[in-house]
Amino acid sequence: MTGIHAGRIVRFALLSLGALLILAPYIFMISTAGKTQSDIFTAALSLIPQHVYFAENFAKALDKVPMATLLWNGVAVCGLIFFFQVAVAIPCAYAMAKLKFRAARAMMVLVMLGLLVPIHATALPLYVAFDKLSLLNSYVALVAPFTISVFAIFMFLQFFRAMPDDLIHAARLDGMSELGIVARVIVPNAWPAVTAFAIFSVVAHWNDLYWPLIVISKQAYATPPLGLMYFRAAEAGDDYGALMAATLIITLPLVVAFLLAQKRFVEGITMTGLKG
């Protein structure tokens, strides 16, 4: 009895320690967002601000950074990317998982190869292409390179393979076209995979700095991380309190979204077998 109890305490302590290590920078960021300039630059490292300065820092951040534009750009870009990724990947993965056609094997190889090529390898040719098309500084430049996600295809493929063939046979006998099967049978049953993919996609593109930095040079199209970078370089200087407050604001939507949909996310990830 006591053995079990002790084991539990040890396990809990280890997990807490791990969580604390991972959360430490974020906690420190929250703390800094509430400090005055003098608090931040004292030699002593204290977590609790001496003068609670949250309101002032947030006011400064909201005043100096076009926060609404940044957040809107973030939402629009992530939303468009996610929408196109799912719209392309679901029919593609369905065809590869459940239809028999000659190019299936070749497509599988291409998907696997696609998984191996990072964006950094194709960034330069893509940049040149967007430049020639005069599409730099636009949503198209931010969204287009990511609309076909081989990762999404691969993930949905694994998920659809586990769906029973009989279900699709039944749908065919009931008179559905292949497109009807995708819309009426596959999509309503694919939400665990879609939500799991949503985390990967939205987190990656919300936090992405690399690609926006290449194709965007105007504030109006800046995504949140890029906007913060402008802020730091141009206006904040060494005003870390305001900078951390701005950072807090742009990370908040993801944190809130995750907390709200936590259960579904965990379900989705365990159901698709994508862990760690």
Partner 1 sequence: MGALSLRGLSKAFAGNAVLNGISLDAEPGEFIALVGPSGCGKSTLLRILAGLDHADAGEILVGGKDMSNVAAADRNIAMVFQSYALYPHLTASQNIAVPLAMKRLSRAQRLPLIGAWLPGQGEIRAGIARDVREMAGLLKIDHLLDRKPGQMSGGQRQRVALARAMVRHPSIFLMDEPLSNLDANLRVHARGEIVELHRRAGVPTLYVTHDQAEALSMADRVAVMIGGHLLQLATPETIYNDPTHIEVARFVGQPRINILQAIAENGRVDFEGMRLALLEKVANGPISLGIRPEFVKLSPSGRSGVAGRIERLEFLGSEIIAHCRLGVSGDSVIAKLAPQEAKDLIGGMPVGILLAPEQAMVFGPEGRRLRIAEVAGARQEPAYV
**Is residue 221 within 8 Å of 196, Cβ to Cβ?**
no
- Name the residue nearer to partner 1 (CB basis): 107 or 176: 176
To partner 1, the closest distance from the beta carbon of 167 in angstroms equals: 5
- Nearer to partner 1 (CB atom), residue 159 or residue 211: 159
| Six-digit token string for 223 | 């995504």
Nearer to partner 1, 190 or 226 (CB): 190
Report, in Å, the least distance between residue 183 CB and partner 1.
Answer: 9
Should residue 264 be labelled a site residue for partner 1 when binding is judged by CB under 8 A?
no
Shortest distance in whole angstroms from residue 125 CB to partner 1: 41
Q: Interface with partner 1 includes 40 (CB under 8 A)? A: no
Closer of 140 and 183 to partner 1 (Cβ): 183
Q: Cβ neighbours of residue 209 under 8 Å, at least 6 residues apart?
A: 225, 226, 229
SS3 state of residue 44: coil
What is the DSSP track for 172-189?
HHTT--HHHHIIIIIHHH
SS3 state of residue 100: coil
Could you give the angle at the alpha carbon of 168 between the alpha carbons of 163 and 173, nearest 5°? 160
Residues 42-81: x where in contact with partner 1 by CB under 8 A, - otherwise, as a string: ----------------------------------------
Least distance (Å) from partner 1 to the CB of residue 191? 9
Of residues 64 and 172, the one with the C-beta less far from partner 1: 172
CB of 170 to partner 1, least distance (A): 4
Complex with partner 1: residue 174 or 238, whichever CB lies closer: 174
Smallest CA-to-CA distance from 223 within 201, 250, 200, 197 is with 250
CB of 190 to partner 1, least distance (A): 10
d(CA 21, CA 25): 8
CB count in 10 Å sphere of residue 131: 12
Pull the structure tokens for residue 221. Answer: 């199209």
- In whole angstroms, what is the distance from residue 1 CA to residue 15 CA? 21
Instruction: Considering only residues 144 through 203, tell me which ones interact with partner 1, judged by CB under 8 A.
Output: 164, 166-167, 169-176, 180, 184-185, 188-189
Closer CB to partner 1, 180 or 253, in the complex: 180
For helices 262-272 and 191-206, angle between their N-to-C axes, nearest 10 degrees: 110
Which one-letter DSSP state was computed for residue 144? Answer: G
Interacting residues with partner 1 (CB under 8 A): 164, 166-167, 169-176, 180, 184-185, 188-189
